[in-house]
Structure 1
Amino acid sequence: MLESSLLKKTNVLILGSAPMAKEAAHWSKPKTASIVAINNAWQVRPDWDYLIHSGDFAPERLPENISPHQQMHSYQDYVSRQNRFGG
């Protein structure tokens, strides 16, 4: 489950797989922001806070090391909650 620290942030940047996601690599990160990376988007910048990946995401594509403040969440963490809202 995402920590309550995410709820205290005022800005959330969600990085996906669009080609334009690379533009976010050089953006400054305010102290009041969290970065959520989807699947391979964790590679765009090293200061992401949360990585959310799908069930078919290859384990070898996950980061080898993460910082203490970073969290990874797989489909096992979110599918049941998602299904409660209709899938």
Structure 2
Amino acid sequence: MGNKKSCHHVLADDAGRIRTGCKVLPKEIGRPDRAEPSDPEKAYGIERLKKLGATVFEGSTDPADAENWLNMLEKCFDVMNCPKERKVRLA
């Protein structure tokens, strides 16, 4: 009986996420910053990364520092809507 209740809870959560996605997705698709930029070099360049707060990794003995740096870069790339093929060149 407890299993049915938890399945219902999961389905209700999923339905809520789907409703939210249906409201947000059309707005996101229509956003001008989601369109392909007219000047990809400017849109995906080092200067744009710097403006978003990206830094140069100077090295560290702590692996967590490298992971934090990579996470920060990924957030910047997400904001830029940067294609995968450009990420390697910029990193």
TM-score (norm 1): 0.27
TM-score (norm 2): 0.26
Larger Rg: 2
More helix by share: 2
More strand by share: 1
